[in-house]
Amino acid sequence: MERKSREYYEKIASKVRCDVIKAVYAAGSGHPGGSLSCADIVTALYFGEMNIDPENPKMEGRDKFVLSKGHAAPVMYAALGERGFYPVSEMMSLRKLGSKFQGHANMHYVPGVEMSTGSLGQGFSVSVGMAIAGKLDASPGRVYALLGDGELQEGIVWEAAMAAAQYKLDNLTAFVDWNGLQIDGANDSVMKVAPVDEKFAAFGWNVIMIDGHDMDQIFDAIDKAKAEKGRPTVVVAKTVKGKGVSFMENNAGWHGKAPTEDEAKQAVEELGGEW
For residue 1, the model assigns a pLDDT of 75
Helices (H), the chain: 6-27, 32-37, 39-48, 73-83, 122-137, 155-166, 187-191, 196-202, 215-227, 261-270
Phi and psi at residue 50, in whole multiples of 5°? -70, 140
Domain range for 208 is 6-270
The residue type found at 138 is A
Please give the pLDDT value at position 269.
98
Which amino acid would we find at residue 18? C
Distance in angstroms (rounded) separating the CA atoms of residues 140 and 160: 22
Residue 275 resides in a domain: no
Res. 124: pLDDT tops 80: yes
Rounded CA-CA distance 163/126 in Å is: 11
Among 235, 124, 123, 243, smallest CA distance to 181 is for: 243
Gap between the Cα atoms of 252 and 240, Å rounded = 11
Nearest alpha-carbon partner for 74 in 144, 109, 27, 115: 27
User: Model confidence over 130-171: pLDDT tens digits?
Assistant: 999 999 999 999 999 999 999 999 999 999 999 999 999 999
CATH code for the domain in which residue 66 is found: 3.40.50.970
Residue range 241-250, pLDDT digits in tens: 999 999 999 9
Residue 183 lies in a domain: yes
String of b and e for 65-77 (b: at least 16 CB within 10 Å)? bbbbbbbbbbbbb
Q: How confident is the model at residue 2 (pLDDT cuts 50, 70, 90)?
A: confident
- In-domain check, residue 212: yes
Mean pLDDT to the nearest integer, 47-72: 98
CA distances from 128 to 79, 123, 158, 175, 191 (A): 23, 9, 11, 13, 25
Q: Which amino acid is at 145?
A: A
Q: Is the dihedral of CA 269, 26, 120, 180 positive or negative?
A: positive
Domains: count for the chain? 1
Q: Determine, yes or no, domain membership for 1.
A: no
Q: For the whole model, what pTM was predicted?
A: 0.97
Confirm whether 171 is domain-assigned.
Answer: yes
* Long-range CB contact pairs, 242-245, < 8 A, 24+: 242/32, 242/33, 242/36, 242/37, 243/17, 243/36, 243/37, 243/39, 243/40, 243/213, 244/14, 244/17, 244/36, 244/39, 244/270, 244/271, 245/17, 245/21, 245/32, 245/36, 245/270, 245/271
Q: Which of 39, 41, 51 is nearest to 75 (CA)?
A: 39
pLDDT, tens digit, 9 for 90 and up, residues 160-191: 999 999 999 999 999 999 999 999 999 999 99
Residues whose CB is less than 8 angstroms from the CB of residue 18 and which lie 6 or more positions away in sequence, other chains included: 268, 271, 272, 273
